[in-house]
C-alpha cells in the first residue's frame, strides 16, 4: 500500500513539473466512488489539456491544484472500470466534483465510452485488438461480416465466388479462428473454404477483432484470432425507437434491408427488448467482361433480445436466426483434373451467362439458430459471478448439379446438422490493490449428424471441458497480465471405411494447456507498447481426420489422416500504439510458431478413378512459422481532412522444408482520404472519401503444388459520399459509393475460383438509414 | 430487497441448466441407409466381329479408385468391330446407359487411341442425338493390317450441362474417363 502511494506521489510531481507557462491558483477536488459507499483508491485523475494529474487516496479523495479558470476536461481512469470523462467549469478558488465509476461490462476494455480518452485506448489489451463500432458498420452495411472485417488491418477474405466470403486473420481461417456471438462460440460448419460464417451482417452489434492466439480467454481453437460480436446494450428509456436501413448494390442488383425496434418496458423498470430483422437478395455478379452464372444469394435473418437489469444482477437472452440460400458459379463444377486444365487454358467461362436472380444447383442452403442466455450477479464485495449458456443448431445442405437420382434441386448431396450446447461460468474479482482476476469453467456438448448418405464428414459427438484463471496487475504506467487454461476434448466419430464401406466407431481424446503472459507499458502520455506471448491449441477437425473424396471446384482428392494430433501455436505479438490530438497509430509485429500445423500435402501419385485422374492431397502435420506486420495510421489536418494508411504483410514458412505455405494473403496497403464538408442547412456531417487499395502479387508460394501461379497484383479505387440530413428531431443518413471505380479486371490470390473467373467489377452502392421514433 | 434478488439468480441458474438435461441424450449414431448418390462404377465395352463377341470392363466399386480394375482389349489385325458401351452403378443397382440415352443431347462419348496402336486403330461413332450430333453409345472400331503391337483406348464421357454440345469439343464436366490397354494380335 505504502509503496503505491509513494509511487503515485512521484508521478504526480513529475506531471506537475512538466507543464510550462503561467501558474494558476484554482483547485479541483472531489471523491471517486464505486456505488454509494465504496471509495476507490488509486484512480487516475487527469487533465489532458494541462498534462496534469493525480491519484485518489485510500478514502477516494483527490485534489488538483494550480488550475486555470474556465472549462476543463477531466478523465477518471481505474482498472476494471469504465473510464469517465467529465467537462467541468473551474471557478475561482475550490471546485468540487464527485464521480462514480461503474465496472466494465466487457472482458476487453470498452471503447465506446472512452473514445476521447487516449489512456484507455493505449492500455486496451496486450494483444492486438481492433473494433468496428455500430456507426462504422453502418457504412459497410449490406456486405458480409467477412467483407466488413476486411476493412481492418491484417484481415483479408477467402472467397468462393461472389456469394461466399470467409475472414482470414493474419493468414489463418476456418477452424483456426473463433467467432464469439453474443458471448458464446459460434459453432457452424467450417469444414471447407466454401463454408462462410453464418452471421447476419445487419445484426445490431459491435465487432471486436483479436489477432493472434487467445486460448486462455476463449478456449480451444483460438489459434489465429477471435471475432467477437457483442450485441448492443438494451435501452433503459421506455420509448419505442428504432431504424430502417435500405441498401442497393448495382453489380449484382442486390437489395438489402434491415429494421430494428427497441424499448424499455415502462411497467417494469430494468426490462428492455429489441426486435430486428434483415434480408439480402442478390442476383448473379458481373466481372468487367461477363456475368458469373448462378452466383446470386438470398438471405433472411432476424434476432430478438430481452434483458433485465436488477439492482445487483443482469440477465439477458438473445435469439438469432440466419437463413441463406446461395448459388455457386456453375462453370466451377468440373469433372476431373483434365477439365480443370482445359478451363485454366481457356482463361474464361466457356458459356456467356445471363443475369438471373434465380439460384440453381450447385447451391447451398444454411440455417443457423442461436440462443444465448447470459447474466451476472454482483456479490456484495464488488466481485461478480458471470454465467453464459448457448444452444445452437446449424443445418447445412449442399446441392450438387446432377450427380443424384431424382431432382438435384430438392435433393441435397450433403445434409449436415450440427447441434451445440455451451456453458461458461466465471468469477470476476473486484480490484484489490492493483490486482484483479477471473477464474472460470466452461464446457461444450456437440453432435453432428449426416442426414443424407453423401459423405463429407462422418457423424460425431464431441465433449469439451476447460478451466482457466487469468490475473491482471496494474501500477502506474504498467499493466501485466498472465493466465493459464486446461482443456480436454473427447471425440467419438463414426467414419466409413473408404467412404462407402461399413461404419466404424473411433474415439479420440485430447488434453492440453493454453497460456498467456502480456504487458503494456505506457511510456508517455501519447504512446504505449505492449508485448503478448500466448500459446493456444486446437484438436484436429473431423474433416482433417476423416475426409475422403473429391473436393468440388478444385478437382482435388482429399484424404484425412486419422492419426494426426493437435496443433499448437506459440504467438509473440508486439504492438506499438499512439493516440495524439491529431494522429493515431497502431502497429503490430507478430511471430506465430505453429507446431503440428495441419495442412494438405500433395501425395506422390495422383488418384486414378473411373471419372479420371485427380491430384491427391493428404492432411499432414508439419512445423510452420507465420510472421508479419500490420498496422494503421491516421492523421487529421485542420479538422476537415483526414488521412489513413493501413497495411499488412504476412509470411508463412514450412519450417521442415523451408517452402512457403500455400494461400498466404499477399502484401496489401490501403490509403484513404476523407474530406469533411461544412454543414449546409439541413445537410450535416457530410464527407467525401477516396480509398485506394494496392495488392501485390504473391510471390511466396510452394512451387508445383498449386494448379496455377498466383495472379498478378492489382489496384482498386473507391469513392464515397455520406451525409446526414436533419429532419425534425431525427437524422436521416444517406451514402453513395462506387467500389472498383475503374472496373478493373483482377483476380485475388485468395479467391478459390481464381482458376475460373475474375473478381467482380464496378459496384455502385446506395445506403439509406431512417430513424423511427 | 437484498434477499429478494437472490430468487432471480436461482431461476437464472435453473433455466440455464434445464436445456442441458433434455438435449444431452441426442444420438449421433449413423443409420445404415442405402447409398443414394449416383455413382458410375462400371463401364463395359462390347466388341463384335462376325460371330465373335468380347466384353471388356473397367470397375471402380467405390468410385474413388481404391480397387480400380481395368481389363485389356484384345484386337485382331485387319478387323472391323461393331461396338457399344454400357455404364452401371452397382452400388444402387442402376443402369446409367439408359440415362445417357434419354439425355443424349447432353452427353457424348469420345474415343482416343494412344501408343503404338494410334496409327492402326480408329473409332467412328455411329449413333446420333435428336440434333444430329454424335452420342457414342454405338460405334465401329477398325484395326488395319499389320503386326502385333500394343496401345491404349481412352474413353471419355462428357456431360454438357452448361456448354452447348457441338459434336467435337469435350465439356468441362467429365463423367467417365478410363484408359483401357490394347493388345493387337
Return the HEC string of A725-760.
EEECCEEEEEEEEEECCCCCCCCCCCECCCCCCCCC
Question: Domain boundary residue among A86, A102, A118?
Answer: A102
Residues A199/A227, Cβ–Cβ less than 8 Å: no
Inform me whether the pLDDT recorded for A526 exceeds 90: no
Number of domains in chain A: 2
User: Which residues of B are less than 8 Å from A419 in CB distance?
Assistant: 23, 26
Neighbour order of strands in the sheet with A52-55:
A52-55, A44-47, A70-77, A84-90
Q: What is the pLDDT of residue A431?
A: 74
Contacts of A353 (CB under 8 A, 6+ apart): A284, A290, A291, A292, A293, A294, A330
* Interface contact A335-B40, CB threshold 8 A: no
**Residue among A142, A140, A160 nearest A150 (CA):** A140
Please tell me chain A's helix, strand, coil percentages from 3-state DSSP, rounded to the nearest 5. Answer: 10, 55, 35
Residues A130/A153, Cβ–Cβ less than 8 Å: yes
What b/e readout covers A379-398, taking b as 16+ CB neighbours within 10 angstroms? eeebbbbbbbbbbbbbbbbb
User: What mean pLDDT comes out for the span A121-148?
Assistant: 83
Q: What is the pLDDT of residue A3?
A: 38
Report how far residue A283's alpha carbon sits from residue A295's, in angstroms, rounded to the nearest whole number: 7
Q: What is the pLDDT of residue A743?
A: 97
User: Which residues of A are less than 8 Å from B61 in CB distance?
Assistant: 500
Contacts of A127 (CB under 8 A, 6+ apart): A210, A211, A212, A214, A518, A530, A532, A534, A573, A575
* Interface contact A311-B19, CB threshold 8 A: no
Residue B28 within any structural domain of the chain = no
Restricting to A residues 396-435, those with a Cβ less than 8 Å away from any Cβ of B are 401-405, 413, 419, 421, 423
Report how far residue A644's alpha carbon sits from residue A670's, in angstroms, rounded to the nearest whole number: 8
User: A757 and A623 in one domain?
Assistant: yes
| Band of residue A40 on the pLDDT scale cut at 50, 70, 90 | confident
Closest-CA distance of chain A to residue B128, Å: 23
User: A197 and A87 in one domain?
Assistant: no
* Interface contact A549-B64, CB threshold 8 A: yes
**Residue among A182, A209, A206, A426 nearest A318 (CA):** A182
* Interface contact B16-A335, CB threshold 8 A: no
User: A150 and A75 in one domain?
Assistant: no
Inform me whether the pLDDT recorded for A750 exceeds 50: yes
Report how far residue A246's alpha carbon sits from residue A544's, in angstroms, rounded to the nearest whole number: 41
Inform me whether the pLDDT recorded for A552 exceeds 90: no
CATH number for the domain including A638? 2.40.170.20
User: A464 and A358 in one domain?
Assistant: yes
Report how far residue A615's alpha carbon sits from residue A557's, in angstroms, rounded to the nearest whole number: 6
User: Which residues of A are less than 8 Å from B65 in CB distance?
Assistant: 557, 607-610
Handedness of CA A597, A602, A605, A609 (dihedral sign): positive
Kindly report whether the peptide bond that precedes residue A362 is cis, defined as omega within 30 degrees of 0: yes
| Band of residue B27 on the pLDDT scale cut at 50, 70, 90 | low
* Interface contact A612-B174, CB threshold 8 A: yes
Residue B52 within any structural domain of the chain = yes
Residue A699 CA: distances (Å) to CA of A169, A170, A318, A749: 19, 17, 46, 10
User: A142 and A273 in one domain?
Assistant: yes
Q: What is the pLDDT of residue B46?
A: 96
A298's enclosing H/E stretch is strand A297-309
Is A566's Cβ below 8 Å from some Cβ in B? no
| Band of residue B1 on the pLDDT scale cut at 50, 70, 90 | very low
Inform me whether the pLDDT recorded for A252 exceeds 90: yes
Is A333's Cβ below 8 Å from some Cβ in B? yes
User: A211 and A282 in one domain?
Assistant: yes
Among chain A residues, CA nearest to B172: A339
- Chains A & B: contacts with CB separation below 8 Å: 171
Restricting to A residues 168-227, those with a Cβ less than 8 Å away from any Cβ of B are none
User: A594 and A727 in one domain?
Assistant: yes
Is A761's Cβ below 8 Å from some Cβ in B? no
Closest-CA distance of chain A to residue B30, Å: 6
Nearest to B12 among A334, A387, A548 (CB): A387
Inform me whether the pLDDT recorded for A279 exceeds 90: yes
User: A84 and A136 in one domain?
Assistant: no
Positions of E strands within A21-60? 26-34, 38-39, 44-47, 52-55
Among chain B residues, CA nearest to A334: B173
Contacts of A132 (CB under 8 A, 6+ apart): A140, A148, A149, A151, A152, A206, A207, A208, A209
Closest-CA distance of chain A to residue B62, Å: 6
User: Which residues of A are less than 8 Å from B163 in CB distance?
Assistant: 350-351
B85's enclosing H/E stretch is strand B79-89
Report how far residue A38's alpha carbon sits from residue A58's, in angstroms, rounded to the nearest whole number: 11
Chain length of chain B: 185
Residue A107 within any structural domain of the chain = no
User: Which residues of B are less than 8 Å from A403 in CB distance?
Assistant: 37-39
* Interface contact A421-B1, CB threshold 8 A: no
User: A612 and A702 in one domain?
Assistant: yes
- The range of the structural domain enclosing residue B64 comes to 42-184
Positions of E strands within A603-713? 607-609, 612-614, 616-637, 641-654, 668-676, 683-695
Is B178's Cβ below 8 Å from some Cβ in A? yes
Residue A112 within any structural domain of the chain = no
Among chain B residues, CA nearest to A445: B24
A474 compared with A459, residue with greater pLDDT: A459
Among chain B residues, CA nearest to A336: B174
Q: Could you report the per-residue pLDDT of B111-162, keeping only the tens digit for each?
A: 999 999 998 999 999 999 999 999 999 999 999 998 899 999 999 999 988 7
Is A312's Cβ below 8 Å from some Cβ in B? yes
Q: What is the pLDDT of residue A491?
A: 94
Average pLDDT, chain A: 86
Inform me whether the pLDDT recorded for A382 exceeds 80: no
Residue B70 within any structural domain of the chain = yes
Phi then psi for residue B32, to 5 deg, are: -85, 75
User: A390 and A347 in one domain?
Assistant: yes
Q: Could you report the per-residue pLDDT of A324-373, keeping only the tens digit for each?
A: 999 999 888 788 888 888 888 888 888 899 999 999 888 999 999 999 99
Residue A120 within any structural domain of the chain = no
Closest-CA distance of chain B to residue A124, Å: 31
Report how far residue B156's alpha carbon sits from residue A509's, in angstroms, rounded to the nearest whole number: 46
Residues A757/A349, Cβ–Cβ less than 8 Å: yes
Handedness of CA A121, A124, A126, A128 (dihedral sign): negative
Q: What is the pLDDT of residue A2?
A: 36
Instruction: Tell which of A184, A499, A610, A611 to mutate to test the B interface (max B CBs under 10 Å).
Output: A610
Residue A518 within any structural domain of the chain = yes
Inform me whether the pLDDT recorded for A698 exceeds 60: yes
User: What mean pLDDT comes out for the span A316-321?
Assistant: 94
Q: Other CB atoms closer than 10 Å to residue A487's CB: what's the count?
A: 25
Residue A639 is placed in which grid cell? 479538422
Number of domains in chain B: 1
* Interface contact B174-A452, CB threshold 8 A: no
Closest-CA distance of chain B to residue A313, Å: 8
Residue A699 is placed in which grid cell? 510471390
* Interface contact B19-A389, CB threshold 8 A: yes
Residue A280 within any structural domain of the chain = yes
**Residue among A411, A402, A757 nearest B159 (CA):** A402
Which alpha helices (DSSP H) does A479-558 contain, by range? 542-546
* Interface contact B38-A405, CB threshold 8 A: yes
Q: Could you report the per-residue pLDDT of A429-449, keeping only the tens digit for each?
A: 877 777 888 999 999 999 998
User: Which residues of B are less than 8 Å from A333 in CB distance?
Assistant: 161, 173
Contacts of A415 (CB under 8 A, 6+ apart): A395, A396, A397, A398, A450, A451, A452, A454
Instruction: Tell which of B4, B58, B65 to mutate to test the A interface (max A CBs under 10 Å).
Output: B65
Residue A30 is placed in which grid cell? 472531489
Residue B174 within any structural domain of the chain = yes
User: Which residues of B are less than 8 Å from A612 in CB distance?
Assistant: 156, 174, 176-177
Closest-CA distance of chain A to residue B147, Å: 31
Q: What is the pLDDT of residue A94?
A: 82
| Band of residue A24 on the pLDDT scale cut at 50, 70, 90 | low
* Interface contact B28-A500, CB threshold 8 A: no
Residues A667/A648, Cβ–Cβ less than 8 Å: yes
- The range of the structural domain enclosing residue A12 comes to 2-102
Least confident span in A105-119, A613-627, A685-699: A105-119
Residue A300 within any structural domain of the chain = yes
Nearest to B64 among A389, A405, A498 (CB): A498
Positions of E strands within A41-83? 44-47, 52-55, 61-67, 70-77
Residues A760/A745, Cβ–Cβ less than 8 Å: no
User: Which residues of A are less than 8 Å from B12 in CB distance?
Assistant: 313, 315, 373, 375, 377, 387
* Interface contact A387-B13, CB threshold 8 A: yes
B9's enclosing H/E stretch is helix B6-23
Residue B2 within any structural domain of the chain = no
Inform me whether the pLDDT recorded for A50 exceeds 80: no
* Interface contact B23-A419, CB threshold 8 A: yes
The pairing of strands B149-159 and B94-95 is unpaired
Q: What is the pLDDT of residue B18?
A: 52
* Interface contact B34-A377, CB threshold 8 A: no
Residue A72 within any structural domain of the chain = yes
A185's enclosing H/E stretch is strand A184-185
Q: Which long-range contacts (CB under 8 A, 24 or more apart) does A480-483 make?
A: A480/A517, A480/A518, A480/A519, A481/A126, A481/A516, A481/A517, A481/A518, A481/A519, A482/A516, A482/A517, A482/A518, A483/A216, A483/A217, A483/A515, A483/A516
| Band of residue B7 on the pLDDT scale cut at 50, 70, 90 | low
Contacts of B171 (CB under 8 A, 6+ apart): A335, A339, B158, B159, B160, B161, B162, B163, B165
A226's enclosing H/E stretch is strand A225-231
Inform me whether the pLDDT recorded for A7 exceeds 60: no
Instruction: Tell which of B29, B70, B172 to mutate to test the A interface (max A CBs under 10 Å).
Output: B172
User: A490 and A363 in one domain?
Assistant: yes
Nearest to A389 among B8, B16, B32 (CB): B16
HEC letters along A546-601: HCEEEECCCCEEEECCCCCCCEEEEEEEEEEEEECCCEEEEEEEEEEEEEEEEEEE
A615 compared with A326, residue with greater pLDDT: A326
Most confident region among A91-105, A395-409, A688-702 by mean pLDDT: A688-702
* Interface contact B26-A447, CB threshold 8 A: yes
CA of residue A282 relative to chain centroid, distance: 24
Give the N- to C-terminal CA distance of chain A in Å, as an integer.
Answer: 52
A203 compared with A403, residue with greater pLDDT: A203
Interface confidence, given as ipTM, is 0.84
Q: What is the pLDDT of residue A111?
A: 31
Q: What is the pLDDT of residue A109?
A: 35
Residue A699 within any structural domain of the chain = yes
Residues A31/A57, Cβ–Cβ less than 8 Å: no
Is A465's Cβ below 8 Å from some Cβ in B? no
**Residue among A369, A356, A547 nearest A458 (CA):** A547
Residue B117 within any structural domain of the chain = yes
**Residue among A640, A509, A379, A481 nearest A124 (CA):** A481
Report how far residue A455's alpha carbon sits from residue A502's, in angstroms, rounded to the nearest whole number: 13
User: Which residues of B are less than 8 Å from A461 in CB distance?
Assistant: 28
Is A557's Cβ below 8 Å from some Cβ in B? yes
Inform me whether the pLDDT recorded for A767 exceeds 70: yes
pTM equals 0.83
Q: What is the pLDDT of residue B3?
A: 43
Is B19's Cβ below 8 Å from some Cβ in A? yes
User: What mean pLDDT comes out for the span A132-142?
Assistant: 83
A145 compared with A550, residue with greater pLDDT: A145
Restricting to B residues 95-154, those with a Cβ less than 8 Å away from any Cβ of A are none
CATH number for the domain including A64? 2.60.40.10
CATH number for the domain including B105? 2.70.50
Return the residue matching grid coordinates 504467438.
A571
User: A186 and A81 in one domain?
Assistant: no
The pairing of strands B73-75 and B174-184 is parallel
Inform me whether the pLDDT recorded for A426 exceeds 80: yes
Amino acid at each position: 500500500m505504502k509503496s503505491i502511494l509513494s509511487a503515485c506521489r512521484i508521478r504526480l510531481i513529475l506531471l506537475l513539473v512538466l507543464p510550462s507557462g503561467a501558474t494558476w491558483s484554482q483547485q479541483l477536488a472531489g471523491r471517486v466512488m464505486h456505488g454509494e459507499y465504496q471509495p476507490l483508491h488509486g484512480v487516475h485523475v487527469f487533465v489532458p489539456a494541462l498534462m496534469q494529474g493525480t491519484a485518489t487516496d485510500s478514502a477516494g479523495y483527490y485534489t488538483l491544484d494550480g488550475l486555470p479558470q474556465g472549462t476543463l476536461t477531466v478523465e477518471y481512469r481505474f482498472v476494471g472500470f469504465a473510464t469517465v470523462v467529465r467537462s467541468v467549469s473551474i471557478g475561482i478558488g475550490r471546485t468540487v466534483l464527485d464521480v462514480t465509476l461503474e465496472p466494465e461490462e466487457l472482458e476487453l476494455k470498452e471503447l465506446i465510452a472512452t473514445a476521447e480518452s487516449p489512456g484507455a485506448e493505449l492500455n486496451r489489451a496486450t494483444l492486438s485488438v481492433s473494433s468496428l463500432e455500430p456507426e462504422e458498420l453502418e457504412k459497410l452495411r449490406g456486405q458480409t461480416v467477412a467483407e466488413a472485417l476486411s476493412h481492418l488491418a491484417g484481415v483479408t477474405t477467402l472467397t468462393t465466388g461472389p456469394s461466399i466470403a470467409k475472414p482470414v486473420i493474419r493468414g489463418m481461417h476456418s477452424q483456426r479462428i473463433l467467432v464469439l456471438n453474443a458471448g458464446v462460440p459460434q459453432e457452424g460448419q467450417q469444414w471447407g473454404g466454401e463454408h462462410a460464417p453464418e452471421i447476419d451482417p445487419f445484426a445490431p452489434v459491435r465487432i471486436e477483432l483479436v489477432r493472434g492466439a487467445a486460448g486462455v480467454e476463449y478456449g480451444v481453437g483460438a489459434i489465429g484470432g477471435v471475432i467477437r460480436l457483442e450485441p448492443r446494450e438494451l435501452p433503459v428509456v421506455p420509448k419505442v425507437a428504432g431504424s430502417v436501413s435500405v441498401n442497393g448494390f448495382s453489380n449484382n442488383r442486390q437489395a438489402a434491408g434491415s429494421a430494428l425496434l427497441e424499448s424499455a418496458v415502462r411497467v417494469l423498470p430494468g426490462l428492455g427488448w429489441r426486435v430486428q430483422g434483415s434480408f439480402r437478395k442478390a442476383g448473379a455478379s458481373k466481372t468487367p467482361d461477363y456475368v458469373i452464372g448462378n452466383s446470386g444469394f438470398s438471405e433472411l435473418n432476424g434476432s430478438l433480445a430481452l434483458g433485465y437489469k436488477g439492482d445487483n444482477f443482469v440477465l439477458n437472452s438473445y435469439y438469432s436466426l440466419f437463413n441463406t440460400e446461395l448459388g455457386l458459379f456453375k462453370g466451377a463444377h468440373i469433372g476431373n483434373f483434365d477439365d480443370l486444365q482445359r478451363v485454366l487454358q481457356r482463361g474464361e467461362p466457356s458459356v456467356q451467362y445471363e443475369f438471373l436472380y434465380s439460384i440453381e444447383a450447385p447451391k447451398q442452403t444454411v440455417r443457423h439458430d442461436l440462443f444465448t442466455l447470459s447474466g451476472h450477479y454482483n456479490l456484495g464485495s464488488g466481485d461478480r459471478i458471470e454465467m453464459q449458456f448457448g444452444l445452437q443448431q446449424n443445418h447445412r445442405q449442399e446441392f450438387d448439379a446432377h450427380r443424384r437420382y431424382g431432382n438435384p434441386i430438392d435433393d441435397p448431396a450433403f445434409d449436415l446438422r450440427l447441434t451445440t450446447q455451451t456453458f461458461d461460468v466465471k468469477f470476476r474479482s473486484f480490484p484489490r490493490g492493483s490486482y484483479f482476476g477471473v477464474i472460470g469453467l466452461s464446457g461444450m456438448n456437440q453432435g453432428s449428424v449426416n442426414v443424407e448418405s453423401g459423405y463429407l464428414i462422418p457423424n460425431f459427438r464431441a465433449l469439451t471441458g476447460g478451466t482457466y484463471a487469468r490475473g491482471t496487475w496494474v501500477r502506474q504506467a504498467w499493466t501485466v497480465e498472465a493466465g493459464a487454461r486446461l482443456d480436454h476434448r473427447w471425440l467419438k466419430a463414426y467414419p466409413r471405411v473408404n467412404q462407402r464401406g461399413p461404419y466404424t466407431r473411433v474415439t479420440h481424446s485430447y488434453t492440453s494447456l493454453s497460456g498467456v503472459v502480456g504487458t503494456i507499458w505506457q511510456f508517455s502520455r501519447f504512446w504505449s507498447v505492449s508485448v503478448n506471448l500466448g500459446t493456444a491449441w486446437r484438436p484436429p477437425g473431423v474433416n482433417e481426420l476423416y475426409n475422403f473424396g473429391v473436393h468440388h471446384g478444385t478437382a482435388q482428392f482429399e484424404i484425412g489422416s486419422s492419426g494426426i494430433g493437435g496443433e499448437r501455436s506459440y504467438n509473440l505479438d508486439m504492438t506499438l500504439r499512439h493516440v495524439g490530438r491529431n494522429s493515431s497509430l497502431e502497429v503490430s509485429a507478430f511471430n506465430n510458431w505453429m507446431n503440428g500445423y495441419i495442412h494438405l500435402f500433395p501425395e506422390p501419385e495422383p488418384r486414378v478413378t473411373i471419372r479420371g485422374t485427380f491430384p491427391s492431397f493428404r492432411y499432414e502435420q508439419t512445423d510452420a512459422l507465420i510472421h508479419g506486420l500490420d498496422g494503421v495510421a491516421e492523421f487529421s489536418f485542420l479538422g476537415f481532412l483526414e488521412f489513413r494508411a493501413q497495411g499488412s504483410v504476412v509470411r508463412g514458412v514450412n519450417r521442415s522444408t523451408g517452402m512457403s505455405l500455400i494461400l498466404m494473403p499477399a502484401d496489401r496497403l490501403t490509403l484513404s482520404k476523407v474530406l469533411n464538408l461544412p454543414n449546409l442547412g439541413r445537410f450535416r456531417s457530410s464527407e467525401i472519401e477516396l480509398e485506394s487499395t494496392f495488392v501485390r502479387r504473391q510471390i511466396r508460394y510452394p512451387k508445383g503444388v498449386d494448379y496455377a501461379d498466383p495472379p498478378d497484383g492489382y489496384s482498386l479505387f473507391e469513392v464515397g459520399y455520406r451525409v446526414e440530413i436533419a429532419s425534425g428531431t431525427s437524422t436521416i443518413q444517406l451514402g453513395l459509393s462506387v467500389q472498383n471505380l475503374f472496373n478493373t479486371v483482377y483476380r485475388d490470390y485468395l479467391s478459390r475460383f481464381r482458376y475460373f473467373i475474375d473478381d467482380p467489377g464496378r459496384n455502385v452502392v446506395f445506403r439509406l438509414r431512417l430513424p423511427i421514433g | 430487497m437484498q434477499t429478494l434478488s437472490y430468487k432471480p439468480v436461482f431461476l437464472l441458474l435453473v433455466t440455464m441448466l434445464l436445456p442441458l438435461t433434455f438435449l444431452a441424450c441426442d444420438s449421433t449414431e449413423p443409420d445404415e441407409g442405402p447409398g443414394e448418390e449416383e455413382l458410375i462404377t462400371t463401364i463395359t465395352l462390347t466388341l463384335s466381329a462376325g460371330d465373335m463377341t468380347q466384353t471388356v470392363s473397367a470397375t471402380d466399386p467405390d468410385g474413388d479408385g481404391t480397387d480400380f480394375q481395368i481389363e485389356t482389349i484384345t484386337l485382331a489385325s485387319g478387323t472391323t468391330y461393331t461396338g457399344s458401351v454400357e455404364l452401371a452403378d452397382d452400388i444402387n443397382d442402376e443402369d446409367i446407359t439408359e440415362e445417357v440415352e434419354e439425355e443424349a443431347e447432353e452427353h457424348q462419348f469420345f474415343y482416343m487411341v494412344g501408343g503404338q496402336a494410334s496409327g492402326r486403330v480408329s473409332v467412328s461413332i455411329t449413333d446420333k442425338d435428336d440434333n444430329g450430333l454424335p452420342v457414342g453409345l454405338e460405334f465401329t472400331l477398325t484395326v488395319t493390317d499389320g503386326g502385333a503391337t500394343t496401345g491404349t483406348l481412352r474413353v471419355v464421357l462428357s456431360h454438357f450441362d452448361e456448354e452447348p454440345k457441338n459434336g467435337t469439343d469435350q465439356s468441362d464436366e467429365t463423367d467417365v474417363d478410363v484408359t483401357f490397354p490394347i493388345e493387337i494380335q
